[in-house]
Structure 1
């Protein structure tokens, strides 16, 4: 087995295989090698979307796509004009893998199986001679003039161009630091909140469309979407968005903070007071706990009304202004104490990675070392759920591949 290659890709994940497929197709005969530390390639693709693989998102406008990235929004705007979600769809469908769009915009293979995506990428690389070596953990990377040397547990390898696509790997980040790149310390992103509160007790499985924010904080903004009450606290898209944008702040406070929930989504406190007063006038004889005026799960309405101090037998005509205000407060700005977090399913995402200031996003090449490229979550780029993290990997892999193709064919100087 030769240990020399034109291109070595560190990491056998989505970005690495996508880049390899494009390079091998554009330059037949090029020697490409993928080094994967584990015994299995494309492991994250396999578990994504509950085993269905959320390939991308049906947002085809680069500027609108970029807003889903708490870290990388500005840097990805240009790359998305080069390779966007529509290009991803075209890549897979031109190779016989049809995608479907679900109501929330997520795109999956029509087979509902991640193995379809894995088979496509394996087929594209295998039939063009890409060499895939598993069980090759990289211990060191060294620049050797116009080439690179990689020290692994199974020997040394050399290449002309190196693409690092190892995902969220603390060991690789340490290696990257040693040859001069800065790494933003990683912290978890996309997680659910642990809350023990009587207002949520017994409501597991209930969902509502809400807006949430960190109580007392304005910098991270307000996030809207479905919220799911779980046996440990709250989850759902609104919570995951908040966890992503506030990932570093929440890490710094050890995941002990307060979150403010507007259970009525966009209704303000004042608007809610007005609706409650109108309900009092129209339905004065009705019991409050059994006749809520909002589109909320009935059990949630009862819990919030009880938390406002409303007795079980009270009718609308009997409610005092103070209780109305307390109820409006519970509905639109209820504060819940968070005492910890849980990773969202198997789809662990990290905020952190190679500092984006050190990357040329026209090529995804290093500004420090010639012939070195990065793609995927090894960079300080991450997104909310919905196929956005994979789209960043496809885009980075494609652009890095094009830059390497250009350099190896004599058309570029990177």
Structure 2
């Protein structure tokens, strides 16, 4: 019996922030995968190794976590005053779908570096030594991201001494600016889709919780840790080893998605796992991070734990960090109150792997809260480049 041979596609495997993904230039994809649709989704699932009932990704490039089941497409930008278009796909681990509903803030870092490495930025804009400003159009959410990528001898400077909790080795710092993150491209456009800084979120069969629901960076539902029986110091094992609690978090997430208008029925949430995120916050407490080091209460303004694709994240999603910084800048949100309340332009929060600082400036315009920019630092590095291979009949 004849079987289709494998084909090879140029690809680059990159770490960006605390995530990893397979990066492609649009022009290098098979022709039928250069446009959105079933062929592209099937290709990306096969590259990653999904759907995988073993949740191991042995037969693919994925790492069987939400942080490592990602594919990215970059191309020269179709937008004025931008260098590249960046499209991100979150590949489900055990189900047959790719979620295109949001961005990955961590891989936005790698998108800036890959744009230079892949020859997608005008050489005239790349300094011999210094900082290259890469203007990224985030195609999933129709937003602009500015990446400040260090360049040495005309090439991306990847090595350095910038340390990022959740990443083992230091690297060069890349500063990201998320412009106008006050909404995530959803209809309505309000940073607070319900019109309130804090809502009473009724979750059928579970209870009613105070919640801040915000669309900034990525739609996120914030609840108080103590209201759901946690301290805010929990690590992955505590949450991810408890299927009953994971199911409760999903119920809260679905209720939030409905209240935010992101879905019309609860059933739709099954194919929209990437958004919204669900996170819980608490006032500062000392705890031992997953690396074993102690994070002292005095080192942070608040604690945040967030779930991605149904599991507690090992550190913090970059887009969720934008949501945290934005919500913290608005007096009266649960995030702001956990950080001590009042006006603030930046917060340092504790997550399972350590701490992260994110800045945002909020203001009221015609009675609506808006944020023009959120800023944070990450790093990125090429792990491997060449070709990825998949069976020719898999897409």
TM-score interval for Structure 1 and Structure 2 normalised by the shorter chain: under 0.3
Q: Which has the higher strand share?
A: 2
Higher relative contact order (CA 8 A, sep 6+): 1
Q: Which has the higher helix share?
A: 1
Question: Normalising to structure 2: TM-score of the pair?
Answer: 0.23
